[in-house]
Structure 1
Amino acid sequence: MTIAAPPVPHYVPAPRASEELEYADLAVIDLAKFGTPEGKAKLAAEVRAAMKDKGFFYVINHGLTQEQTDRVFDIANIPLAQVSDEEKMKYDGKMQQTGSYQGYKPRQYWQIDNGVRDQIEHYNMNKNLQRKDHPEALRPYLGQLHEFIKHNHFNILHPLLKLLALGMGIQEDIFIPFHNFDARGETFLRFMKYYPRTEDDEQKTKNVWLKGHTDFGSVSILWSQPVAALQLICPDGKWRYVSHIPNALVINAGDALEFLTAGFYRATIHRVVQPPPSQCGHERLGVFYFAMPDDDLALRPLPIAGKWPVDQRRFADEDAPTMEEYRKGRIVAYGNSETKKDGEGKVEVQMIGKVLVRHYN
Structure 2
Amino acid sequence: MPSLTLPECPRYISPPATKEELEFANLTIIDLSNVHTPEGRQELYPKLRDALRTQGFVYAINHGYTQAQRDRIFDIANAFFTLVPPDEMKTYTGNIEKDGYYFGYKGRQIWKLDEENRVFDQIEQYGLHRDVTKLPHPQAVRPFLPELDAFARHNHFNVLHPILRLIALSLELPEEALVEKHTFDGKGETAGWSLFSFISSYVDRHICSQVYEIVSYTRSKEEEEKSKNVWLKGHTGIQLFFLCVLVCLSRIDFGSISILWSQPVGGLQIQAPDGGWKWVRHIDNALVINTGDMMGFLTGGYYKPTIHRVVQPPKDQREYERLGTFYFSLTDDNVRLLPCVESPVLQRVGIERQRPDEDAPLSEVWRKARTVTYGVVDLKKGMERDVEEEVVEGIVVKHYN
In 2, Cα distance between equivalents of 1:282 and 1:318: 49
In 2, Cα distance between equivalents of 1:359 and 1:225: 25
Which residue pairs with 1:173 in the alignment?
176
Q: 1:300 to 1:65 in 2, by over 3 A?
A: same
In 1, Cα distance between equivalents of 2:294 and 2:348: 16
Question: How many pairs align?
Answer: 360
**Moved runs in structure 1, 4+ residues, more than 3 A?**
none
Which residue pairs with 1:277 in the alignment?
315
Comparing both chains, which one has the higher relative contact order based on Cα–Cα distances under 8 Å and sequence gaps of 6 or more? 1
Q: 1:285 to 1:305 in 2, by over 3 A?
A: closer
Query: With structure 2 as the length reference, what TM-score do the two structures score?
Result: 0.88
Residue by residue, what CA displacement relative to the aligned partner does 1:293-351 show, whole Å, maximum 9, x if unpaired? Answer: 00011111124155263412222112211111111111100010011001254110101
Which residue pairs with 2:229 in the alignment?
207
Which residue pairs with 2:370 in the alignment?
330
SS in 2 for 1:211: strand
In 2, Cα distance between equivalents of 1:171 and 1:164: 10
Higher deviation after alignment, 207-216 or 340-349? 340-349
Which residue pairs with 2:356 in the alignment?
316
Residue by residue, what CA displacement relative to the aligned partner does 1:175-221 show, whole Å, maximum 9, x if unpaired? Answer: 01111111111212111121222111110100001000011101000
Q: 1:188 to 1:3 in 2, by over 3 A?
A: farther
Which residue pairs with 2:194 in the alignment?
190
Which residue pairs with 2:389 in the alignment?
349
AA aligned opposite 1:127: R
Residue by residue, what CA displacement relative to the aligned partner does 1:59-107 show, whole Å, maximum 9, x if unpaired? Answer: 0000000000000000000112221121111111110111112111112
Which residue pairs with 1:79 in the alignment?
80
What residue ranges of structure 1 are gaps of 5+ in the alignment?
none
Which residue pairs with 2:49 in the alignment?
48
SS in 1 for 2:35: helix
Percent identity among equivalent residues?
Answer: 48
Instruction: Give 1:14 shift.
Output: 1.7
Which residue pairs with 1:262 in the alignment?
300
Kept in 1: contact 2:171–2:343 (CA 8 A): no
Q: 1:87 to 1:41 in 2, by over 3 A?
A: same
SS in 1 for 2:371: helix
- Counting only pairs closer than 5 Å after superposition, residues 121-160 of structure 1 correspond to structure 2 as 121-160=124-163
Q: 1:319 to 1:202 in 2, by over 3 A?
A: same
Given candidates 279, 283, 303, the residue that maps to 1:241 is 279
AA aligned opposite 1:176: V
In 1, Cα distance between equivalents of 2:269 and 2:313: 11
AA aligned opposite 2:400: Y
Instruction: Give 1:36 shift.
Output: 2.5
Residue by residue, what CA displacement relative to the aligned partner does 1:234-292 show, whole Å, maximum 9, x if unpaired? Answer: 11211000000000000000000110110111100110000011001212111000000
What residue ranges of structure 2 are gaps of 5+ in the alignment?
198-202, 204-216, 237-252
Kept in 2: contact 1:178–1:294 (CA 8 A): yes
Which residue pairs with 1:16 in the alignment?
17
In 1, Cα distance between equivalents of 2:371 and 2:96: 7
SS in 2 for 1:78: helix
